Structure 1
């Protein structure tokens, strides 16, 4: 079958990623849905295809911890001459907190995010490395959102005619395994009506708690729905556009993160220039 559009979902073998892949595959049987993660012990692609009676979901391994493997993945993808990618969903809902923890105003109980520079967060000096361990987590959430805004700005400035959009989303509060902080465990995903039955993290239970299938429906809409066409550079909680933290809108910090990342990822100056020009 000649697929009309491909979708790539990272971390899509369980939970939010699984339900996202399932729903897009069901809605668009003519699209190729690619699930990419380090492993697929659950045989997710096979399971979704069997459930739907289709064969438009595939698994391609991807290890994001190794830049060389990421580059190989991209090169192999390009060699297949697929149609333009319809949606790229970078799924990271594998902790007990949602992306709202990046914002000190949310009072999540975790240490406040503190972006100093991309270099210091990537190669932490002692003053940062020896600080609260969970601040590394909130910093990573802040960096995700800042990167979204930095990418949106450059897409809009340099290739607006291509109509590429990018958004950030906090979808679900999940718990997959015990944390070292001795926080009482939450079940994998808790229905909002039952949240009061479980011991919350310090700071209380957030109302942003949903079943994986419910959160997936919001994410699928954000990535593929016609009414979201042209919406870019925004931050969503479920289906609602909300504001992110004050620091996330700091363009100097966004630019620092962008410049460090392109320098780190590029093999040479020529490739760094190509990244900047989106070629």
Structure 2
């Protein structure tokens, strides 16, 4: 068996589309999914498209420290360690502040902390040449770059994870702010990871897939808003430069995970296949280091 590529959030959307492309190239894929039924359906969808595909499933709920720990043990026991891990799963909550299984704010727990823990636990088993790709978003850059989406509001990692702090500071756009803040955390994490594994020949890069109206990211919005979003997909693509077809973003992400010319590129931020600047704030090494250290503490505490 050749080295597989692990993709979280692979039961639908960008994760499933990327896994299907990779499988079509003859690369074994491991689908990291929270729901067993949806994972099985995703596997079958890939096998229908690519009958010769090698597809495995790892159940992982990124909002649960125990679930991530169990998934990490499975990945560490593979006969051949992963060639790449694509940290793709994410959610956006617009209806109040929700709490993870471990008592942390749900957006921070799912979009950052779970991926941090997964990589932190597995990184020691990866070989030189392995790639880590973290799906972020240009919403971390603020409205000018994100089509009007609210800018991040970074405080301290401890406060971002604290449910009560987030409830006290919540506003009618709080869920979207927490989402954009989690995407800034993704970039901090990527850059700090790249610095920490540089001497091992492992690369870490962040990826902005653009706005993809056909994905399930809006699944927590009210039904009428979700339906309107779906119906307006063609118009959104025409009117918003940040919008891109799901198929294009998946192809770009698969390219970043496999292209020979990407073998030594690390600590960078990509929109599609183009290396572009991330927000100036994302290059604050002290905040990145603090995020890493507090994340370690939060995982240990849980």
TM-score class, shorter-chain normalisation, is 0.7 to 0.9
User: Rg larger in 1 or in 2?
Assistant: 1
Tell me which residue corresponds to 2:113. none
Question: 1:167 aligns to what SS in structure 2?
Answer: strand
TM-superposed deviation, 1:216: 0.6
Q: Give, in whole Å, the separation in 2 of the partners of 1:34 and 1:120.
A: 34
Note the aligned Cα RMSD (angstroms).
Answer: 2.8
Aligned position for 1:65: 63
2:18 aligns to what? 20
- TM-fit CA distance, 1:113: 0.8
Change (3 A) 1:109 1:210: closer
Return the offset for 1:122: 0.6
Kept after mapping to 2: 8 A contact 1:46/1:57: no
Q: State the match for 1:113 in structure 2.
A: 152
The reply to whether residue 164 of structure 1 matches residue 161 of structure 2 is no
Find the counterpart in structure 2 of residue 136 from structure 1: 178
1:94 and 1:209, CA in 2 relative to 1: closer, same or farther beyond 3 A? farther
Determine whether 1:252 maps to 2:294. Answer: no
Ranges of 4+ aligned residues in structure 1 off by more than 4 Å: 93-96, 180-184
With over 3 angstroms needed to count, the CA separation of the structure-2 counterparts of 1:166 and 1:242, relative to structure 1, is same
**Aligned residue number for residue 271 of structure 1:** none
Contact 1:102 1:245 in 2 (8 A): yes
Structure 2 partner of 1:90: 87
Are positions 1:155 and 2:193 aligned together? Answer: no
- Contact in 2 for aligned 1:11/1:37 (Cα 8 Å): yes
**2:7–2:87: 8 Å Cα contact kept in structure 1?**
yes
CA distance in 2, matches of 1:188, 1:254: 39
C-alpha displacement of 1:8: 0.6
Q: Does 1:103 align with 2:141?
A: yes
SS class of match (2:270): strand
Q: TM-score, normalised by structure 1?
A: 0.80
TM superposition shift of 1:91: 1.1
Q: Which residue of 1 aligns with 2:114?
A: none
Q: How many residues align?
A: 249
Report which stretch shifted further, 213-222 or 121-130.
121-130
2:261 aligned to 227, 237, 244, which one?
227
TM-score by length of 2: 0.74
Distance in 1, matches of 2:86 and 2:76, equals 18
Does residue 283 of structure 2 align to residue 265 of structure 1? no
Q: Partners in 1 of 2:166 and 2:56 — Cα distance?
A: 43
Cα shift at 1:188: 8.3
Query: Which position in structure 2 is the counterpart of 1:277?
Result: none
**Any stretches of 5+ residues in structure 2 without a counterpart?**
94-135
Shift in alpha-carbon separation, 1:118–1:126, aligned structure 2, 3 A? closer
- The one of 173, 188, 191 equivalent to 1:146 is 188
* More helix, by proportion: 2
